Structure 1
Amino acid sequence: MPTRKIRRTQLLALAVAALTVPATAALAAPVPADAAAAPTAPLAAPATTASTTTAPATAVAASPTGFLNLPTSLLPTDRAPHEISFQYRNDSAGDQSIAPQVLIESPVGGPFLVPTAVSLQVETSDGSWLPLPLGIETGTLYTNLIPAKLVLHSHHTLTEHYRLTVLSPSLGTVAPRIAFYG
C-alpha cells in the first residue's frame, strides 16, 4: 500500500493561538517518567474506537492513553540553530489519534532549564518556522499536546521538523515522543 507523508499546515498557527487558553495547560504537562515508560496502550498500534456521542465544542480533550518515546539526543550548547526531525508511521489497520511532543529535559541534579533558555520552532508546510511556546514542569520544558493532536490514517507517516536554539547553554536532553489517545 502506498505511503503518504503528512505535515501539519496552518493548523499550527491556530494551535499556538489556542495555547493562551489556561485550561489546556494541565493536560499538556509531561507524564512522570514511570508512566511514560509503561504506557497503558500498546505503542505500535493503539486501538481506537468510534464514539456515538459528540462532545461539546468547549470540552477539553482527553488525556493521552500512552506514549512512544523516540530516540533522544543531547541538548546542543553552541547557541546555533539545530534541526530536529523525527517520523512516526501508523502501521495499524485503523486511524490513530496522536500528538507529537518535544521534551527538553534538564539534568536530574540541575541546573534546571527555563523556557527563556531555548527557542523552539516548528516548520510549516510552506517552509517557514513558527515559534512554539514551552511549558515547564520539574525542570522539563515541553510543547503542548492538545493543539498538536491530529488523526494519522492507517499506513501514513507523520514527519516533524523542529529548529532548536539554546540561548543559555546548559546540559540536557532533547526527547521527542508521540502521545496516543483513545
Structure 2
Amino acid sequence: MPTRTIPRRALVLTVAVLTALPTVALAAPAQAASAPPAASAAAAAPVRFVDLPDAALPTDRAPHRITFMYRNDTRTDQTIAPQILVESPENGPFLSPSDIRLEQLGSDGHWRTLWLGSQTGTLYTALIPAKTVLHSHHTLTERYRITVLHSSARGTVEPRIAIYA
C-alpha cells in the first residue's frame, strides 16, 4: 500500500485553523446563530499564505530582533494575520515552546511574550488574535524578538502572512 507524507507546514496550518474554529463559532454574535456553523467557520480560515524570508534560529541565548514587512499591493483592503513558525530540524530533536521565548513589540513600545503552539516539531503563533485589516497600498511592519533558552535548540524561523477572503 503506497504511503504519502504530509508536509509539516500543511499539517501545522490545518491544526491551527481547526483549533481556532470552535473558538470563532462560540464567540459569534447571537444574531448569527441562525447561520449554519460550517458557513461561519469557513469564513474564518485563511485562503492562502505568503511566505517571507526565513532565517536560522540563533544558537546563542541572546535576544535577536526579527523585523519583516508585507505590502498590500492590491486595489482593495486585505484582512491579514502575521504568523511566526519555528521549524525543528527535519530529523529532530523537535523544539518545545519552553526552548524559546518569542516577544512582539506592541504599539505602546513594550515587548509582550507570545504564546506558542506546537505541532509535529513546529512552533507557531496564533492567527486569530493577530488579524488586522491592511489598507490598499499600505505596508505592515512587524517587530519580534526571539531568545533561545536552551543552547541545544536548533531550527528555522519562518515568518509568513495569512490572507483571508
TM bucket, shorter chain: 0.7 to 0.9
One-letter amino acid of the counterpart of residue 45, structure 2? S
Secondary structure at the aligned position of 1:65 is classed as strand
**Structure 2 counterpart of 1:91:** 73
Alignment match, 1:180: 163
Within a 5 Å distance, the mapping from 1:22-41 to structure 2 comes to 31-32=10-11
Q: Percent identity?
A: 58
Calculate the aligned-residue CA RMSD, in Å: 2.3
Distance 2:96 2:55 in 1: 19
Counterpart amino acid of 1:108?
E
1:63 aligns with 2:45: yes
In the aligned structure 1, how far is the partner of 2:58 from the partner of 2:160?
Answer: 18
SS at structure 2 position matched to 1:108: coil
- Tell me, in whole angstroms, the C-alpha distance in 2 between the residues paired with 1:34 and 1:113: 17
Deviation at 1:57, TM superposition (A): 2.8
Match in the other structure for 1:103: 85
Which 4+ runs in 1 deviate beyond 2 A? Answer: 29-35, 55-61
1:128 aligns with 2:107: no
Task: Compare the two structures and name the one with the higher helix fraction.
Answer: 2
- Measure the CA separation in 2 of the matches of 1:63 and 1:30: 15
The alignment's TM-score, normalised by the length of structure 2, stands at 0.76
Distance in 2, Cα, partners of 1:179 & 1:34: 10
The answer to whether the 8 A contact 1:88-1:157 is kept is yes
Q: What stretches of structure 2 of length at least 5 have no aligned partner?
A: 1-7, 15-26, 31-39
Q: Is the 8 A contact 1:89 1:155 kept in 2?
A: yes
1:141 to 118, 123, 131: 123
Deviation at 1:30, TM superposition (A): 5.4
Deviation sequence 1:6-50 (CA, Å, 0-9, x none): xxxxxxxxxxxxxxxxxxxxxxx9534899xxxxxxxxxxxxxxx
- 1:92 and 1:154 map into 2 onto residues whose CA distance is 6
TM (norm. structure 1) is 0.69
Matched residue SS, 2:86: strand
- What is the identity, as a one-letter code, of the residue corresponding to 2:136? S
